[in-house]
Amino acid sequence: MRNTQYELSPMDNFSEDTLFMRMALREAEQAAAEGEVPCGAVIVLDGEVIGKAHNQTETLKDPTAHAEVLAITQATQAVGNWRLNGAVMYVTKEPCPMCAGALVLSRMKKVVWGMTDPIRGGAVSKFNILNEADLNHAVETEAGLMEADCKAVMQGFFQDLRLRTKEQRQQRKLDGEETG
């Protein structure tokens, strides 16, 4: 597992957006370390982090345990309301349709993501749930923040996964030859 540091030095010229996306990247790396698809999310309200999470679908055996949904649950508990008016989510990957729906339902003000997902994207790439005219709320969007870093974490995870899978197949083949 590749571990990239996103630490800030006092000399860094950065925005709050960059700081919060770096936190989301740390969450994504934690997911990867746990064998989860590396997606991390951070929710901020008035400059304060009120929720942060990473994918836990494998760990919790729950198909809805995406970083975005888990962070929304944390944030709603932190503010004591299911409406997250004024809150901004930073997430390493474009939300899927389920997560985009949760963002709309929670009344999130804005979502900022790193890499788009042309296959399963629920925000702009495949579907446009966040700005569907027939829904009762629209979520502002911003794509591409720290995109290269977000892609590197995701690609590194899947490269490592393919390598481990190949090694496991080779080992099973050797084990079969030895016992057969």
pLDDT of residue 179: 54
d(CA 68, CA 8): 24
Question: What angle is formed at CA 145 by the lines to CA 89 and CA 72, rounded to 5 degrees?
Answer: 15
- pTM comes to 0.84
Is 150 labeled as ligand-binding?
no
Tokens matching residue 125: 């790439």
Is 96 labeled as ligand-binding?
yes
pLDDT of residue 151: 96
Question: 102-111, pLDDT tens digit by residue?
Answer: 999 999 999 9
Question: 24-48, pLDDT tens digit by residue?
Answer: 999 999 999 999 999 999 999 999 9
From 145, 134, 144, 162, select the one nearest 17 (Cα to Cα). Answer: 145
Q: Range with the lowest mean pLDDT among 9-18, 31-40, 46-55, 128-137?
A: 9-18
Q: How far is CA 81 from the centre of its chain?
A: 23
Q: Which fold has domain 16-179?
A: Cytidine Deaminase; domain 2 (3.40.140)
Catalytically active residues are 68
Q: Where are the domains of the chain?
A: 16-179
